């Protein structure tokens, strides 16, 4: 049983690294490099291609996190402990609640970014939308991405605190 728990923790960490690491790479490396090296049309095409590939990988990672998260909690604390009110009022329980709230926010922002703003910008670009409208959509997507990155870094800090006290 311990081996399965360790495999679950490993997969959870690997998925978190992919998701958060991808956000860091995009925001700190790719976007600044493209802004300085490419014309606007070329940057837009490349960001669309990279964004779609990252979206697929990140939603696979999110799926792994959704499956392994509860398994890890049940591997760390017994199910009867998790089902009692006493656990949720303890320091680890409150930290876990905080972590789950951040996770829910991140999933929601990712869905909004990937399935609402991204497709809307793509449709508008294909329909010949005005540059100002496309710039507005890009800014919104950019701010959602940055907010998600900040939440991800906060989530990482809470996860470390939860694991190491």
Residues contacting residue 12 through CB under 8 Å, at least 6 positions apart: 64, 65, 68, 69, 72
CA dihedral 60→140→104→90, nearest 10 degrees, is: 130
**DSSP for 17-72, written as a single string:** HHHHHHHHHIIIIIHHHHHHHS-HHHHHHHHHHHHHHHHHHHHHHHHHHHHHHHHH
d(CA 45, CA 161): 40
DSSP 128: T
Report pLDDT digits (tens) over 8-26: 999 999 999 999 999 999 9
pTM of the model: 0.85
Domain boundaries, the chain: 2-164
Asked whether residue 37 carries a pLDDT value surpassing 80, the answer given is no
Give the number of other CB atoms < 10 A from CB of residue 4. 10
Separation of CA 77 from chain center: 25
Report pLDDT digits (tens) over 105-118: 999 999 999 898 87
């Amino acid at each position: 049983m311990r081996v399965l728990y360790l495999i679950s923790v490993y997969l959870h960490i690997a998925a978190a690294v992919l998701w958060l690491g991808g956000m860091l790479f995009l925001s700190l490396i790719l976007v600044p490099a493209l802004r300085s090296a490419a014309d606007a049309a070329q940057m837009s095409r490349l960001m669309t291609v990279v964004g779609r590939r990252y979206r697929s990988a990140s939603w696979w990672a999110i799926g792994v996190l959704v499956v392994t998260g509860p398994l890890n909690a049940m591997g760390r604390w017994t199910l009867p402990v998790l089902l009692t009110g006493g656990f949720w009022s303890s320091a680890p329980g409150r930290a876990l609640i905080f972590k789950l709230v951040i996770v829910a926010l991140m999933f929601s922002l990712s869905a909004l970014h990937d399935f609402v703003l991204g497709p809307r910008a793509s449709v508008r670009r294909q329909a010949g939308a005005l540059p100002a409208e496309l710039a507005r959509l890009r800014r919104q997507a950019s701010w959602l991405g940055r907010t998600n990155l900040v939440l991800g870094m906060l989530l990482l800090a809470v996860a470390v605190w939860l694991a190491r006290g």
